[in-house]
Amino acid sequence: MRQRIVAGNWKMNKTRDEGLALVSELSNMIADEVSGNVQVVLCPPSIYLAAVGKMIQGSGSIALGAQNCHQKAAGAYTGEVSAAMLRSVGVQYVILGHSERRQYFGESNSLLKEKTDIALEAGLTPIFCCGELLELREQGVHLDFVRNQLTESLFHLSNEQLRRLVIAYEPIWAIGTGKTASNAQAQEMHAALREHLASRYGQETAQEIRILYGGSVNASNAEELFASPDVDGGLVGGASLKSREFTDIVKAAAGKS
C-alpha cells in the first residue's frame, strides 16, 4: 500500500509568530492522529523553514517542505534559494511547478526539468505539480495536456530517480476558487497519469508513485477524495492554515475521520 501524504502549502501567509503558533498546535494535534501510512509535510515560506524545522525535529509524523527552489546550484541570483540551502536547514520535500509559479513567474516545463534535477541532486523529494486550465478541460484536451507536462519535465529521469518523486495533480480551475474536482474527475486524471508513467517506466514503478490531489481540499471533501484508488493524499492550500481543519484532513487520509 502506498503511504499517503498530506502536504500543507502555506503560500505567502502567516507572520513568524503566527506560523510557529500554528506548528505548535499541529504538532500536538497530529501526533495523536497520524499512523504509519500517512506522512504530513509542512511547507511554510522559506524565511521560516529553519525555525519550523527546529520545532518538528525528531517528529516522525511531520516533515519539512519548501515551496520552491532555484534551478541552479549556486550563483549570482539575488533573492533566490538553492536546493542545497534548503537541504542544509533540514528540508526534505520541495514543491515544484505549482500553478501559481507557472502562471505568475512563467515557469515552463523545461525550467521545471532543471529544477527537478537539482532538487534530486540535493537529496530532496520533489512534489511535482501539474494541472490544466478550465478552458483546456472544456476543450477535452486536459488529459493530453497534463500528460505532456510529465513527459517534458520528468521523462528524462531514470527509473530510480522517478521513484523518489511525488506528483500532485491540481486542476487550476479549482485552486482557491472553492470548486473541487469531483471524485470521478480526480480519479480519471490520477489513473491517466499513473498509466502514462507506466508507459515509460513500467507498472511496478507507476504503482509506487504517490499522486496527490490539490485544488480546494478541505475537511468536508477530503474523505471522499481520498477514497479514490489512485488518489494518495492531498496538497492543501488555504485549509492548511487552520490547525483543526488541516488535522481533520490528515485524519481523513489516515482513515480516522
Q: Which residues are catalytic?
A: 98, 170
> How far, in Å, are 41, 44, 45, 73, 128 from residue 8 at the CA level?
6, 8, 11, 26, 14
Residue 138 region by backbone torsions, left for phi larger than 0, else alpha for psi between -120 and 50, else beta? alpha
How many residues are there in the chain?
Answer: 257
Cell of 144: 493530453
